Chain A
Amino acid sequence: MRPDYPLKTDRLVLRPFEEHDLDDLHAYRSDPEVCRYLYTHCATLEDSADRLTKTLTMSELTEEGQWLVLAAYLPEAGRVIGDVVLKWISEKHRQGEIGYVFNPEFQGRGLAREAAEEMLRIGFEDMKLHRIEAQCDPRNEPSWGLMERLGMRREAHFRQNEVFKGEWGDLYIYAMLDEEYARAS
């Protein structure tokens, strides 16, 4: 499955990453506030360049286990302001997972939500997934707040199920089924 690029939402253009996105990507991936609840640490310029190289090819889903990684480009600002992902977890069980990371300068405007909604659409409509989940640290309220705005339900609160950045971390898992998606849209 390869989406018909560029994908357009009300305010954004979603497309695969391109070589020249490095500065835009690094601007938020190097921000400690952005990385607080991500598994990755704050990116050095070299980390961002590595990430960019890897994501350049993540523009289609041909087998389970792969990630679709898209740049959220905001025409009004002329730059990439975040990234959204859709992971194909299982073909047999038709499962997927979404994720999002945005530049704080452009948070609080519903832009992450707009991009995430498009990933749900790709997952349910193009990939015919049955269930899509999203995970975050319970302290990351902006993240699960967004999951709730997307209409996802909290299915799990794992307590101290992993060591996260040197301390015991909890995990929320939210999910949505295709029938719930169909009802909502």
Chain B
Amino acid sequence: MRPDYPIKTARLVLRPFEMSDLDDVFAYRRLEEVNRYLYSEPYTRAEAAENLAKWTAQDEIIEDGQSLALAVTLEGQVIGEADVKLLSADHRQGEVGYIFNPAFHGQGYASEAARTMLGLGFEELGLHRVQAECDVRNEPSWRVMERLGMRREAHFRHKEIFKGEWGDSFVYAMLAAEYRTLK
């Protein structure tokens, strides 16, 4: 699956990453607050460049386990990223995620981009169910999931050690039939 780029929403443009996005990406990926509930740690500039190189090479999904991480841009500036991952083609399952620059939080941009990724999952990848996961303390993240109309399906307690302590996580999901009703 390779979407028709660029993807335009009401206020945003989503497209594959480019090496020239380094400054914009590093601006938020280097922040402690952005990484608080991510498996990653704040990037050095070199790490940002290394990861960016991987993302630019990845503009389509062919098989299980692959994800498409897109740059979310506002007036030409990258303000965050949103991704969709194919978990299983056999079971038509996928997952979405999002990370935004704090300077652009609180304006519905993450929700707008995430809704686009759900659309790619259901319409382009033909998924039956799309899920999203987050730390239970990451309320801004699960608020996005609820705003999109996803339902909370799991609350795992201590399923893993996260950044040195037992972590709890939520799994939210939406089915294709629900997506069609909401649209």
Contact = CB atoms under 8 A, between A and B. Distances in A.
Q: Do A and B bind each other?
A: yes
Interface stretch (B53-61, B71-79, B159-167): B159-167
Nearest to A163: B91
Interface stretch (B13-21, B25-33, B40-48, B149-157): B149-157
Contact of B173 (A155, A159, A175): A159
B154 A161 contact: no
Contacts of A177: 157-158
| Residue with the highest number of chain A CB atoms closer than 10 Å, among B90, B93, B153, B173 | B153
B155 A155 contact: yes
B91 A156 contact: no
B156 A156 contact: yes
Given A160-B175, A162-B93, A168-B128, A155 B166 contact: no
A173 B93 CA distance: 18
Nearest to A131: B158
A129 to B, nearest CB: 11
Interface string A139-177: 000000000000001011111111100001000010101
Interface in B139-183: 151, 153-161, 166, 171, 173, 175
B91 A162 contact: yes
Given A161-B129, A163-B91, A155 B157 contact: yes
A59 B128 CA distance: 39
Contacts of B159: 93, 95, 131, 133, 175
Interface string A102-133: 00000000000000000000000000001101
Interface of B: 88, 90-91, 93, 128-129, 131, 151, 153-161, 166, 171, 173, 175
Given A95-B159, A156-B171, A159-B151, 14 more contacts: A90-B160, A92-B161, A93-B161, A95-B160, A130-B158, A155-B157, A158-B153, A159-B153, A159-B175, A160-B175, A161-B129, A163-B90, A163-B91, A173-B154
